[in-house]
Structure 1
């Protein structure tokens, strides 16, 4: 049972690492979008040109 518990910690650490990697990729992707609100409460988004650099 101790071995199973030790393996569980390793598994959970690996899953946490995957979640963090996914979060960083998501944030990077969102930084590449121009997201604008619409008057009807929705939003529109387009990919920014590669040469765009925010101020």
Structure 2
């Protein structure tokens, strides 16, 4: 398990929702489709691991 997934997702949560006020960039300007795919894959991985722990 990549122990950095949670840390990265936490760090990126606010800019992914609100953009970067200092740089005057929207979330769409900060992130690409590739970024979205990687984040989705990471979230699915974490969800799967959590679900396994609940069994």
TM-score normalised to the size of structure 1? 0.43
Q: Name the one with the larger helix percent.
A: 2
Q: Name the one with the larger strand percent.
A: 1
TM-score normalised to the size of structure 2? 0.43
Larger radius of gyration: 1
